[in-house]
Every structure is written in structure tokens, then in C-alpha cells.
Amino acid sequence: MPTRRRLGYLIWGIAGGVIAVPELIAAAGGGFLPFTTISAATGHLERYHNWVELFVVAAIVFFVFSVVRVSPNAAWAGKPGRTPGGRLTMQSHAPPGAQERFDEAEAERVFVIAAVLALALVAVATWAAVEWWDDKRHFHPAFVLYGLLFLLWLVIPSLVAFFGGPEVRFPTLFRTVRNLEEWLARSGLPYNLGPLLAWLVAYVILAGLVILLLHLTLYPYPDITHIIDPKG
């Protein structure tokens, strides 16, 4: 079995790929996928339901706020803190050194199986939507794909950890990014590139979140200027 650190890279790498690959294909002008991008699906919902924009803004702001307000290494008694795996919680917080012990422990088989089953459920449900619930612009399969990813990868584990207290024994996205930064910082790359790349990881993620916020709320930002002022 892999360590929890490596399991985190695998789980979040897959989740990021499912979102990033369609976006890159769409940006390159490809339209052969049987589902649309997450930004196009969100923009479609916002067109007919204005409150979706408020939800998107609140979700992204909460993501950034939780990192700034409660560091992935925080352990403050009586206040929101982090479990050893990095989940935000009001229950027991991580004591000093707990994160490192958590990362290097062997991943439990049940969580690996749960991740595989969740991925299989997302794939089968998306395939079923393509076969029996598709529409001309492929929005319905996209709703199923990204909705299940959001539910299974983020909402359910986060609610269990935040309100229930027990540790979910695989690294969160916060912890996985932190692990990557720490690995790069001590990688010993020439010309002191390790710390620079570690800083760049955090910067790219933060810049990406800001761009995503603008892209989803002002869709199709940055092309929105051509729509507002087509002769400008």
C-alpha cells in the first residue's frame, strides 16, 4: 500500500486532471468530449439561475479564507484547527509533529477502495448520462460529472471531519499541496530552485483561484470584454 502522502498526490491529481484536461482541450478549440467544461456548465447555470454566481463566489472565498485564517499547520485549542490529515475541524487538533507521522503512515486499504469506488461511480454515472440523458450541448453529463466530484471528493469528507471530529485518513488538498511545497523546498535542486518552485506552487494556486473566481462569475472571462464592447 502507498503512504498517505502518495495517496494524496494520486487522489487530488486525478480530481485535478478531470477538471483541467477538458478545460485545456476546450481552450485549444477541441469539442469532441461528450461533456462540456466545468466553466461552461457553471456559466450555463448562472445564465438561468443568478443565485449560482453567489454560491460560486462564496465557495471560492471560503476555500481561500480557510487557508489564510487557519494555516494547514494550525493547532489552536478552542478555535477552528486542522487534523493531522489537514482537514478543518472544531474537534481535536493536530499536536506538533502529527502531520509528518500521518503523511508517512501506510494508507489504509479501505480508503483506497473507497477512492476507487467513488471514481468508478463518477465514471459510470457520467457514461449513463451521456447515453440516456444527453442534450445538444452536453450540459447534462457535465452536471453529473462535476456534481459527483464535488459531492464525493469535497463535501462529504469535509462535513464528516468538520462536524464529526474523526480523522479521514487520507491527506486533504491543503495537506497535499503543503507536502509538495515541503518536498520541493528540500529537494536540493541547483541554483536554489527548490524554494523558488515551492513558492511558485502556492502562487500559481492562489492566482488560479482568483482567475477561476473571475472566470466563473463573469463567464466567459477574459473574453467577456469582447462581448461587452465588440467594437472596442
190: preceding bond cis by omega (within 30 degrees): no
Give me the count of residues in the chain.
232
Give 232 or 173, the one with higher predicted confidence: 173
What does the DSSP 8-state code read for residue 106? B
Q: How far apart are CA 138 and CA 45, in angstroms?
A: 13
pLDDT of residue 89: 66
Point out which residues pair with 81 in neighbouring strands: 89
Residues 146-158 have pLDDT tens digits of 899 889 888 887 7
Residues 165-194 have pLDDT tens digits of 555 666 777 778 888 888 888 888 888 889
pLDDT band at 82 (very low <50, low <70, confident <90, very high): low
Q: How far apart are CA 41 and CA 189, in angstroms?
A: 41
Return the domain boundaries, the chain.
Answer: 4-171
- Give pTM, 2 decimals: 0.75
Give 200 or 105, the one with higher predicted confidence: 200
166: preceding bond cis by omega (within 30 degrees): no
| Percentage, residues of the chain above pLDDT 70 | 78
Residue 76 has pLDDT above 90, yes or no: no
User: Dihedral of the CA atoms 22, 24, 26, 28 (nearest 10)?
Assistant: -150
Q: How far apart are CA 93 and CA 175, in angstroms?
A: 14
What does the DSSP 8-state code read for residue 218? S
pLDDT of residue 130: 92
